[in-house]
Structure 1
Amino acid sequence: MFIFLLFFLLFAGNNAYAQSNLKVKTKYNYVLFLPKGYSEGSNRYPLVIYLHGGSQKGNDLNKVKAYGWPHLIDRGQEFGFIVAAPQCPEGKYWSTENWFDSLYMDLISKYRIDSSRIYLTGISMGGYGTYITAMDHPNEFAAIIPLCGGCNDTDTIRICDISRVPVWAFHGTADEKIPITETERVVNKLDQCNENIRFTRLEGIGHDLQFIYERKDVFDWLLLKKKQDVHAR
């Protein structure tokens, strides 16, 4: 009886701890871009979720188009995938709340998305958000591309939660806003558990890595990745 009671107390305590650490689910507004010809057929398309940097926070979705894939598409460049770009509210970070579940359910209920080809990328604050969101939802992404991001000490401990997710990280050696050591620390941890990790050091480049989204080899690499095991939600 004592052993049973002890087991119950331990289970209840651990469950309470887990529940206390669950992020509150919330819904963020987002900008959506559909590929040319989407309305003319029935094909399912890859989905790229793009996380902006700190200066695009707020409630004005036009700010999200300041740079990155949203900027390129808004200026007329075409890509063969769907792009969803949520906006983080002022006073919060991508790690503050569980915005992903609401966004995911909204997107798959409205659009023809290939659930085996969902990708995540972000720059600066969005680079941090890319790591964190992938760790919180490791079974959802076929690949991620974090730019000039990182993780805090607590999150770095659980970085191997994304051991099965292909990662291509970028960081400039001359970045004065977020030092390259932030990415190096994450990559060093991932090297121990993830065989599909790439890290590109951009010699002499600072914090502005928007040009990465114009590189054909980057989205070619991304779109070649497909989840081997699609987990039903």
Structure 2
Amino acid sequence: MRLTLFFTYVCFLILFSQVITLAQVRSKSREKYEYLLYLPKDYDASKAKYPLVIYLHGGSQTGSDLTKLKEYGPPYMVDKGHNYNFIIAAPQCPEGKFWSTDNWFDALYKELTTKYRIDKKRIYLTGVSMGGYGTWQTAVAYPKVFAAIAPLCGGCDDSTQICRIKRVPVWTIHGSADNVIPISQTERLVNRLEKCGGQVKFTRLENEGHGIQYYYEKNDIYDWLLTKQRK
């Protein structure tokens, strides 16, 4: 009973924290979040521009210790020695905050595109759980930045602005048995995007719960993202 109440409380906090408009994002003070960075092994020997994947972690990895990000997701795969042909940036959200608390994206985007050779037509965003919420919300706030997004088990309480990303390809994944963030959060967004002509791919994982971060151990998400290019 206590565990169920805890999950309900966590879900409520995430939902409440994500109610945010574009104007609110832009009006927030800009904050610089620390991040892990992965560069392809041939980056120094090449003069080419590379795609960028920005990854947003879940609620259990907030804080000021970047090593926590290596527990799962793309940073975990990099730590295990996997090589990718794109740049990965994984910012860390401070403890006690959500991805919607501060305007962290402007500072990150400016630093990455200034310091590194990034193909601005191939910038992608993905995240899981709290990071899934952050993926939806950040894309809504910056619809002209991303070539595609892939939110996992997230949501977005933003019915008035979700159609801002109707031209951004979306692949969203959610477990039907998720008792932390109900799959209805994703279903609602998919339905709204489809009604306004959005490009949505929805993978419903039957009988799976909240722990679907293992999807980052496959190449499917990365392969799909990299096929998209912002026009």
**TM-score normalised by structure 2 residue count:** 0.87
- Cα distance in 1 for residues equivalent to 2:197 and 2:89: 27
Give the 3-state SS of the residue equivalent to 1:108 in structure 2.
helix
Give the 3-state SS of the residue equivalent to 2:44 in structure 1.
helix
Q: How does 1:1-16 map to 2 (within 5 A)?
A: none
> Which deviates more from structure 2 when the two are superposed, residues 213-222 or residues 162-171?
213-222
Q: How does 1:178-197 map to 2 (within 5 A)?
A: 178-197=181-200
1:20 and 1:100, CA in 2 relative to 1: closer, same or farther beyond 3 A? closer
1:117 aligned partner: 122
Q: How many Å apart are 1:21 and its aligned residue?
A: 6.6
1:163 aligned partner: 166
* Paired amino acid for 2:174: H
The counterpart of 2:83, out of the listed 78, 83, 88, is 78
Structure 1 residue runs of 4+, over 3 Å off? Answer: 18-21
The counterpart of 2:113, out of the listed 108, 115, 118, is 108
Q: How many Å apart are 1:64 and its aligned residue?
A: 1.2
1:61 aligned partner: 66
Give the 3-state SS of the residue equivalent to 1:38 in structure 2.
coil
- Cα distance in 1 for residues equivalent to 2:48 and 2:109: 19
Does 2:50 correspond to 1:45?
yes
The counterpart of 2:141, out of the listed 129, 136, 141, is 136
Q: RMSD between aligned alpha carbons? A: 1.4
Residues 44-66 of structure 1: CA distance to partner in whole angstroms, max 9, x if unpaired? 10000000000000000001111
- Cα distance in 2 for residues equivalent to 1:197 and 1:106: 30
- Cα distance in 2 for residues equivalent to 1:210 and 1:20: 27
Aligned residues: 209
Q: How many Å apart are 1:20 and its aligned residue?
A: 9.6
Structure 1: gaps (5+ residues): 1-17, 229-233
1:174 and 1:107, CA in 2 relative to 1: closer, same or farther beyond 3 A? same
**TM-score normalised by structure 1 residue count:** 0.87
Residues 55-111 of structure 1: CA distance to partner in whole angstroms, max 9, x if unpaired? 000000001111001100111011110000000011111011110010001001111
1:6 aligned partner: none
1:14 aligned partner: none
- Cα distance in 1 for residues equivalent to 2:125 and 2:170: 10
1:207 and 1:192, CA in 2 relative to 1: closer, same or farther beyond 3 A? same
**8 Å Cα contact 2:31/2:104 also seen in 1:** yes
Higher relative contact order (CA 8 A, sep 6+): 2
Larger radius of gyration: 1
* Paired amino acid for 1:111: Y
* Paired amino acid for 1:25: R
> Which deviates more from structure 2 when the two are superposed, residues 121-130 or residues 91-100?
91-100
